[in-house]
Chain A
Amino acid sequence: MADPPVDLAVARRWVGSDRTLLLELVGIFVGEAASRIAELRGALTSRDARELGRLAHSLKSSSGILGAQDLQGLCAALEEVVREKRLEAAPELLARLDAELARVVAFFRDSAWKDRLDGVQP
């Protein structure tokens, strides 16, 4: 079985003991996931490098806070590709990013993660 896409210890470090805040942040993240991917695809289709870079940068911040480290890494890689003007590498990266985001969203949609939260040391 693959490693979980989210390191809950990282998320706990951000919110401390504020469980409600973490649930709220996860809610925001999951709720925006679909439109994020759509925006990223739109920017790539219109070859708007600046917007693509900005969107990747933005998603990097929130995935970092929630402990979705692989997703954060893919966002950083996409940002890097845009900065180095290697847009030809972007579609493949974006496909991987899309798949990883789906894994993160699935992780948070399964309420089992909430039960594990209390056992996690920040």
Chain B
Amino acid sequence: MRVLVVDDEPVVRRLLETSLTAWGYEVVAARGGEEAWQILKQDGAPSLGILDWTMPGLDGLELCKRVRALKQPVKPYLIFVTAKARTLDIVTGLGAGADDYIIKPFNRDELRARIQVGVRMLELQAMLAERVRELEEALGRVRQLQGLLPICSYCKKVRDDRNYWQQVETYIEGHSAAQFTHGICPDCREKYVEPELERLRQSRRDDEPPARPSRQVKQ
């Protein structure tokens, strides 16, 4: 996982960078808020950010607000690591959209554990986003069968979106996961099949040679 580290103080930045690399993260380092903003606003930006608050130019608080105003589907997980330790600072930092807040001097084990919490949150978020995508796709398929469908009153053909008249079963097969297996209902059996069978029997009788007794009469 890629992690962005933003701190204007080179000693702190290097310490964070080395620690995170040792813990298996791919680190992108920025020297200030403006540089971090250029990185975070791009597509494919690191999914976790460790932000200092007090920096020249664009400070961590403003950076956090800007990132939160972006419209990406999956938001980066942001952790403030700052010496600003008053309760009001913590409330302001979290209020600006940070997910966590660590006070300097920080404990390295605590930082590592809190980053792991962030990773868990991001994984959960990604899993949920994937589920939502799947559900939306399924819902999209169901929606295709909704709405007003023009149907012929006589032959029951249906007019599709491209203005072609189709058999109902062809239309439904094309717009859903349903498939048809053909059969005959009792009403139609009586109405269509029985008369047809009767007609066939009749024509067979007509084709038969004249009954033997009449021939015998002729002879």
Residues of A within 8 A of B (CB): 14-16, 18, 21, 24-25, 28-29, 32, 51, 54, 57-62, 64-66
Contacts and interface: CB of A to CB of B under 8 A. Distances in A.
Given A51-B56, A61-B83, 12 more contacts: A14-B15, A21-B14, A24-B14, A25-B15, A57-B83, A58-B9, A59-B9, A60-B83, A61-B9, A61-B11, A61-B104, A65-B11
B8 interface: yes
B14 A28 contact: yes
Among A18, A62, A66, which residue has the most Cβ atoms of chain B within 10 A?
A62
Is the contact region of chain A dominated by helix, strand, or loop, or is it mixed? helix
B105 A65 contact: yes
A21 B20 CA distance: 13
Interface of B: 7-12, 14-15, 18, 22, 54-56, 83, 104-105, 108
A57 B10 CA distance: 13
Nearest to B52: A61
A62 B55 CA distance: 14
7 contacts: A16-B108, A24-B18, A28-B11, A28-B14, A54-B54, A57-B54, A61-B105
